[in-house]
Chain A
Amino acid sequence: MIEVKNLSKRYGDKKAVNDISFSVGKGEILGFLGPNGAGKSTTMNMLTGYISSTSGQILINGVDILENPIEAKSNIGYLPEIPPLYVDMTVDGYLNFMYDLKKCKLTRKAHLKEICDLCKISHVRERLIRNLSKGYKQRVGLAQALINNPPVLILDEPTVGLDPSQIIEIRSLIKKLGKNHTVILSSHILPEIQAVCDRIIIINKGVIAADGTAGEIADKLTNEHKMTVRIEGSTHTASDKKEIADALKAIDGVKYVRADMEREKGIYDYDIESDEEIDVRRAINTLCREKDWNILMFQLSDMTLEDIFMKITSGDVTAVRAEDEKKSALSGYEIDFEKSGAKTEEAASDAENSDDGEASVTKDKKDKKSSSKKGGDK
C-alpha cells in the first residue's frame, strides 16, 4: 500500500531523513515513534506530498507521489501535526470545503454525517472552528482526513491536546479505521503506540533505529543473559562487594559484572551479563550455596518499549543498534539494523576494563551509565 525506498531529505547540510526504507501493507497500523526532531513529521510530510524528498521514492498504492501527485494524494487522508483548519469557518463549512477540495464523489450529506458521528463532532458542526477547544479542533482535523474514505491515513500525533477519555476514544477509532485503512500514526507517547499499532518503526536522527511488530517490541523482552541479582555476603561490608563481584566474574560464561547500589545495609545489587548461549543462573545459585551467601532477589532484565526507546534515542545509536541486533538474534525478533561497527567492539572492551568497582552512584547517574555502557558492551 505504501512503499518507501531509500528516502532522504536534506535541509542545507542537515540530513533530516537519511535513507529510510519501509513498506506498509493494506490494513496495517504502523506506529512511528521517535523523539522531537527525529524526522517523523518530515517523513510524513514527504509521504503526503507536502514536501518533496531529496532522493528516494514513495509509492502510494503503486503511484509515485512525485510523478503523479494528484492521483497519489487522492489516496491519502492526512492529519498534520497542526490540523490545517480555517478558523474563520464553521466546522460544517470547513468539512464541505474539504469535501469539495478532495473531489469526493460519495453522497455529501450522508458521508459527512457519518464522519462527524465517527469523530463525535456532530453537535459542534454549526460552530466556528475558532471557538472550539484544542481537542475538538483535533477531531475536526481527523474528520477532514477521513473525507473521501482514503485507503491510506497518515496521522501526525493525533491525540495531542485531548483529554484522557478522548484519547481512548480516538485510539479505538483509529483501531477501527485500521481494519479497512492503512494507517501510519506518529507519536512520542509509547503506550499509545503500544495500544494501537500492529507494527512500530522507531526513528531517530533521521534513520530507522528499529522496525518490528508492536507485539514483538512491546512485549517485555526478557533476556536470560542479563540480570540483576541481590546477594547478601557474610560480613555486610564493602569487602563483600568486591569478593562477590570477583567470584561472579569467575563463573564460566559471565562477561560482565557490575556492583550496583547498596540496596539494603551492606547488601548490594549486581548487574550481570553472560554469553548468550550460556545460562549462568544455576551457576550463580551454586556459587552462593557454596559460599553461604544468600540470594535476596533475582531479576532478569526486562526491556519495556520505554527502555528500548530511551536507549535508541539517547546516546550512541551505533552501540544501541549493535545491542538490539544481538537481542533480535537472541529472541528471533525482526529488528532491522544495518551496522554494528567496529566502534562498538572497542567500546565494549573499554567498558570491560573499567567494570568493577563502580559502587554507589546516584540512581540517575547509574541509569545513564548503565544504559550507555550496556549499549556499548558485549
Chain B
Amino acid sequence: MGVIYRREMGAFFTSGIAYVFLAGFALFSGLFFSLGVIGSGVSDMSPMFSSMFIIVLFLIPILTMKLLSEEKKNRTDQGLLTAPVSLASIVLGKYFAALTLFIIAESIVFVYSIIIALCGEVVWSTLLGNYFAMLFLGAAFIAIGLFVSSLTENQMASAVIGMFVLFVLYLMDSLAANIPVEFIQKALLSISFYSRYVEFTRGVFDLSSIVFFLSTAVLFNFFSVRVLDKRRWG
C-alpha cells in the first residue's frame, strides 16, 4: 500500500492535479473566508465551511478522476495487478494519497485561523468540529470518486460522472422536500450528505453522521476493489 501511496502522491504533483486542486481549494475558501467571515466581521468560520460543500463537490472528482481510469487506459494496471500485491492495497494506496492531498488543502483553514487570531478570538472547538466534519465528508466523497474512476477508462468521463453523482447527492434535500411521501422523504434525508454536513457547521457534532461518512468511505472502497476484481473475471 505504501509504495502505491507514494507513487500516487508523486503523480499528483507531476501531473499538476495537486496544484489545480490546492489552488482551487485555496481560492474558493479564501473567497468565502474574506466575504463571509472577515467581511461580516465574525470570528466563526462556519459560514465558509458550509459554502465549501459545493466547491468540494466539484473539486474532489478532479482529484480522483484518473486514479484508476488512467491505469486502465495506459495498461499500467497490468503492472499493478500482476505484482504480488492485493487489490485492496492498490485501491487503498490511491485512496489515502487523495485523502492526504485533501487534508493538506483543507488545512489552509489554520492559516485563516491565524488571521482571525490577529483581530479576534478563535473558537477552537467550532473550528476543529468543522475541520473534521469536512475531513470525513471528503473521505466519503473521495471513495465515491475513486469508485467512479474504477468504472471508466476516460478520466474526463470519470470527473464528469463523479461531479454528477455528488451533485445528485447534494440535491437529496430539495428532492426530499418535493416528495410528499413521508418514508421516501425520510430515506432520502438519511442519505443526505448536505444536511448531515451542515449540522456540523451549525455547531452540532453528530456521531451518527461521522459513522455515516466513514461507512460510505469503506463501502465505496470495497466497491472499487470489487470492480477491479470483477474486471479480471470479465
| A85 and B84 form a contact (CB under 8 A) | no
Q: Which of B1-44 touch A at CB < 8 Å?
A: 2-4, 6-7, 10-11, 14-15
**Contact code string A40-53 (vs B, CB < 8 Å = 1, else 0):** 00000100111110
Residue among B81, B231, B234 with max Cβ neighbours from chain A (10 Å):
B81
**B77 on the A face (CB < 8 A):** yes
Q: Which residue of A lies closest to B16 (CB)?
A: A88
Residue among A45, A50, A84, A89 making CB contact with B10, cutoff 8 Å: A89
Per-position binary interface string of chain A over residues 267-279, scored 1 when its CB falls under 8 Å from any chain B CB and 0 otherwise: 0000000000000
Q: Is the CB of B82 within 8 A of A76?
A: yes
**Closest CB of chain A to B100's CB: distance in Å?**
18
Chain B, residue nearest A70 (CB)? B84
Q: Contact check, A71 vs B84: say whether CB atoms are below 8 A apart.
A: yes
Complex contact A84–B234 (CB within 8 A): no
Residues on B with beta carbons closer than 8 Å to the beta carbon of A98: 79, 83
- B211 adjacent to chain A (CB < 8 Å): no
Q: Are A101 and B85 in contact (CB under 8 A)?
A: yes
**Most A CB within 10 A of own CB, among B2, B76, B78, B80:** B78
* Contact flag A52-B232 (CB < 8 Å), given A84-B76, A84-B77, A97-B7: yes
B14 pairs with A100, CB closer than 8 A: no
B82 x A48 contact (CB < 8 A): yes
A84 to B70, CA, bound (A): 11
Q: Are A87 and B84 in contact (CB under 8 A)?
A: no
Q: Are A70 and B85 in contact (CB under 8 A)?
A: yes
A-chain residues with CB within 8 Å of residue B215 when the two chains form the complex: none
Q: Evaluate contact between A85 and B76: CB separation under 8 angstroms.
A: yes
Whether a CB of chain A sits under 8 angstroms from the CB of B183 is no
When distances are taken between beta carbons in the complex, the residues of chain B under 8 Å from A82 are 74-75, 78
The verdict on B233 contacting chain A, using a C-beta distance below 8 Å, is yes
User: Pick the contact of B3 from A50, A86, A97 — CB < 8 Å?
Assistant: A97
Known A50-B232, A88-B11, A89-B10; contact A78-B86, beta-carbon cutoff 8 A: no
Q: Does any Cβ of B come within 8 Å of A93's Cβ? A: yes
Interface of B is mostly: helix
- B232 & A51 in contact (Cβ 8 Å cutoff): yes
Q: Count chain B CB atoms within 10 A of each CB in A45, A48, A71, A84 and give the residue with the most.
A: A84
Residues on the B chain within 8 Å of A102, using CB: 83-84
State the CA gap A80–B234 with chains docked (Å).
18
B234 touches A50 (CB 8 A): no
List CB contacts (< 8 Å) of A273-326 with chain B.
none
Residue in A51, A73, A76 whose CB lies within 8 Å of B234: A51
Q: How far is the CA of A308 from the CA of B169 in the complex (A)?
A: 61
CA distance A89 to B83 in the complex (A): 18
Please tell me if the beta carbons of A74 and B84 are within 8 angstroms of each other in the complex: yes
B195-234 residues with Cβ-Cβ distance < 8 A to A are 231-234
Residues of A within 8 A of B231 (CB): 51
Question: Interface 1/0s, chain A 85-116, versus B by CB < 8 A?
Answer: 11111000100011011110000000000000
Nearest CB of A to B69, in Å: 14
Q: Which residue of B lies closest to A74 (CB)?
A: B84
A144 interface residue per 8 A CB criterion: yes
Chain A neighbourhood of B14, CB < 8 A: 88-89
Cα–Cα, bound, A101→B79 (Å): 9
Q: Please measure, in the bound complex, the distance between the C-alpha atom of A74 and the C-alpha atom of B84, giving whole angstroms.
A: 5
Q: Are A100 and B84 in touch, CB under 8 angstroms?
A: no
Residues from chain B with a CB closer than 8 A to the CB of A69 are 84
Q: Give me 20 other A-B pairs in contact (C-beta within 8 A), A89-B7, A101-B3, A144-B79 excluded.
A: A49-B81, A50-B81, A51-B231, A51-B233, A70-B84, A73-B82, A73-B83, A74-B84, A78-B79, A80-B79, A84-B75, A84-B77, A84-B79, A85-B79, A86-B7, A89-B14, A97-B3, A98-B79, A101-B80, A102-B84
Binding site for B on A (CB under 8 A): 11, 45, 48-52, 69-71, 73-74, 76, 78, 80, 82, 84-89, 93, 97-98, 100-103, 144
What are 24 contact pairs spanning A and B, CB under 8 A?
A11-B234, A45-B78, A49-B232, A50-B78, A50-B232, A52-B233, A70-B84, A70-B86, A76-B82, A78-B79, A78-B82, A80-B78, A80-B82, A82-B75, A82-B78, A84-B76, A84-B80, A86-B76, A89-B7, A97-B3, A98-B79, A101-B3, A102-B83, A144-B79
Instruction: Name the 5 nearest CB pairs between A and B, nearest first.
Output: A84-B79, A100-B3, A74-B84, A48-B82, A84-B76
